[in-house]
Structure 1
Amino acid sequence: MSRIGTIFSPYPHPPEELRDAARAAEDAGVEELWLWEDCFRSSAWAAAAAALAVTDHLRIGVGIAPLPLRNVAASAMEVATIERMFPGRLLPGFGHGVQDWMRQVGAKAASPLTLMHEHLPALRALLAGETVSAEGRYVKLRDVTLDWPPAHAPLVYAAAEGPKTLALAGAVADGVVLDSRHTVAEIAAAVETVQAGRAGAGREGRADVVAYVLTAFGPDARERATAVLRDRPDADDRVLAGSVSDVAEGVARFQAAGVDDVVLLPTDDVDLAAFFAAVGQVAVSVPHAGGVS
């Protein structure tokens, strides 16, 4: 089933604003609120737990937490703990991390692709309650089993940009998170690569595709949104802007390109409560928006 989500960004919002933002999103009828972990702003898992604790139905997506910062067993414990406390409401995502930041903290992997290839299957197996042993380049486990695995393992997402990472995400993750600033045609090509990677790995079904899209509402919306992408000559093709119905029509184009979850990213200058209210109206306007597919 297709979904509509939105974002609480660490730019420019500090952690103490998250609880009120999460409540506002839920009150507006938004189904999903996504956040992410950038060095050196806020923890993804602490923030996700806090947002879940102050809401009743809102799903929280982490898109993404950097793989190099944590041992896979620690990531599994964090995800499992939150999932057990708030069943079915966490959408955990992981990615390479910004390489300069990973180097800055002494965590840069020489081969980010190898790290993802080792980390995500081990994480998914641990969350499924399996006993995992591995002797890889980065992931080394000896008979590790979670004492408190979740009753139902959540989908594990990978952030991906280039073709190699997109194909790998399809092969080793349950879903993919695509960053903003892309045209519908670019997203469609990325989706094709992800699904081909999944099929090539012999996995059944489809990867769940999440795509962030920079969005603005109101009479001056297009100017405000495209100003963020002023370095792109085709900025107008990379944003959604205008009335609720205008944005809903744009959402439908991304859905037709194979996106399961269109996540509307606000510009930095908006009132979040007002933006979330508009996102809730978009979700009502788009057929079949709702639960995780």
Structure 2
Amino acid sequence: MDIGIALPTMCRGYDRAATVDWCRLAEQGPFSSISCGERMTFHNPDMWITMAAAAALTERLRIFINLSVLPAHPTALVAKQVATMDVLSGGRVTLGVGVGGREHDYRSLESSFDRRHVRLDEGVADLRSLWAGEPPFPEADAVGPACVQPGGPPILAGALGPKAMARAAKWADGVASFSVAGDPAEIAAAAQAARQAWSAADREPPRLVGGCFYLLGEPEPGPRLREFTAEYLAVFGSATRPFAEAMPTFTTDAVNRALDGAEDAGLDEFILVPAGTSLTVLESTIELVNARG
């Protein structure tokens, strides 16, 4: 199983130095990909610009957009952004797409929250049409540049429930799931649900990617991880606080349990999403991954 690393863009204090230092050190390390996610009404930097910087700062790592809330954006704009990133990276982009769970992000983009699942299905079809060179409307020119990867980058679905999985099985190359606390049972259940959905759609088994929050290499990692998780989930209300207070993935044993669970579930890749910006976090993660062999 490959192990990817996310940039700590959701952490307070993320800056230029973190971008440069994390990309350069991760490029040398044992990771398969570098990634970050999208939120609008939060303190994080823009995902697209950050991932473009990562594409320029690396040569080997897969550039994983994890993930774009596709229905909140004009599809042609996303098609151009992804194609441009594919060119900048020399064909290393993987695109994750989903509907997201935060209506505030849609509202801030002046986009409707309605019919978002249908709009996701339609948006993916439009992306592939645009990457194939089809114009967005009859009298228009094509939306360029041409992707380096024939047909465009692989598309993974950020699907959770059975309905979302069934829809994604019609158009996605795989699934990008997430277990906030790195729970092995939750990871295994998501993998099984994806395999069943792809089998029901009479398709080859999907690429399976998972992930979790964690923190290593900083003082008082438990309280820091729990506060990070609480802040990230605050948009969903105070009921998420007890969950944040129970976050376990701040020791090497706990992170290894999550990775072992992902490996046992047959995942192709697992993304570690850090709760701290210090380079010691990345150094500790490299040490852990190397120790796994």
Quickly name the TM-score band, shorter chain normalised: 0.7 to 0.9
- Structure 1's 195 and 26: CA in aligned 2 closer, same or farther, altered over 3 A? same
Shift, 1:221, TM fit = 4.5
- Structure 1's 170 and 22: CA in aligned 2 closer, same or farther, altered over 3 A? same
Instruction: State which of 144, 149, 158 in structure 1 corresponds to 2:146.
Output: 149
Aligned match of 1:2: 2
- Structure 1's 28 and 275: CA in aligned 2 closer, same or farther, altered over 3 A? farther
- Structure 1's 220 and 167: CA in aligned 2 closer, same or farther, altered over 3 A? farther
TM-score scaled by structure 2? 0.79
- Whether contact under 8 Å (1:25, 1:273) holds in the other structure is no
- Partner SS, residue 102 of structure 1: helix
Q: How far, CA to CA, are the matches of 1:284 and 1:88 in structure 2?
A: 27
Aligned match of 1:52: 55
Q: Establish whether residue 231 from structure 1 lines up as the match of residue 228 from structure 2.
A: no
Report % sequence identity: 23
Which 5+ residue runs of structure 2 have no aligned equivalent? Answer: 231-239
Shift, 1:38, TM fit = 1.0
- Partner SS, residue 157 of structure 2: strand
Q: How far, CA to CA, are the matches of 1:90 and 1:242 in structure 2?
A: 31
Instruction: State which of 273, 276, 289 in structure 2 corresponds to 1:265.
Output: 273
Residue identity in the other structure for 1:11: C
- Whether contact under 8 Å (2:177, 2:210) holds in the other structure is yes
- Number of paired residues? 274
Residue identity in the other structure for 1:173: A
TM-score scaled by structure 1? 0.79
- Partner SS, residue 217 of structure 1: coil
Which 5+ residue runs of structure 1 have no aligned equivalent? Answer: 133-139, 288-293
Q: Establish whether residue 253 from structure 1 lines up as the match of residue 273 from structure 2.
A: no
Shift, 1:252, TM fit = 1.7
- Whether contact under 8 Å (1:81, 1:148) holds in the other structure is yes
- Whether contact under 8 Å (2:11, 2:277) holds in the other structure is no
Matches within 5 A, 1:77-226: 77-97=80-100, 98-127=102-131, 129=132, 131=134, 141-142=137-138, 145-152=142-149, 153-182=152-181, 183-204=183-204, 206-217=205-216, 221-222=221-222, 224-225=224-225
Q: Establish whether residue 21 from structure 1 lines up as the match of residue 29 from structure 2.
A: no
- Whether contact under 8 Å (1:126, 1:145) holds in the other structure is yes
Q: How far, CA to CA, are the matches of 1:60 and 1:191 in structure 2?
A: 22
Aligned match of 2:36: 35
Instruction: State which of 276, 283, 293 in structure 1 corresponds to 2:282.
Output: 276
- Partner SS, residue 282 of structure 2: helix
Q: Establish whether residue 70 from structure 1 lines up as the match of residue 73 from structure 2.
A: yes
Greater Cα offset, 109-118 or 150-159: 150-159
Shift, 1:79, TM fit = 1.0
Q: How far, CA to CA, are the matches of 1:171 and 1:15 in structure 2?
A: 39
Aligned residues: CA RMSD? 3.0
Q: How far, CA to CA, are the matches of 1:224 and 1:12 in structure 2?
A: 11
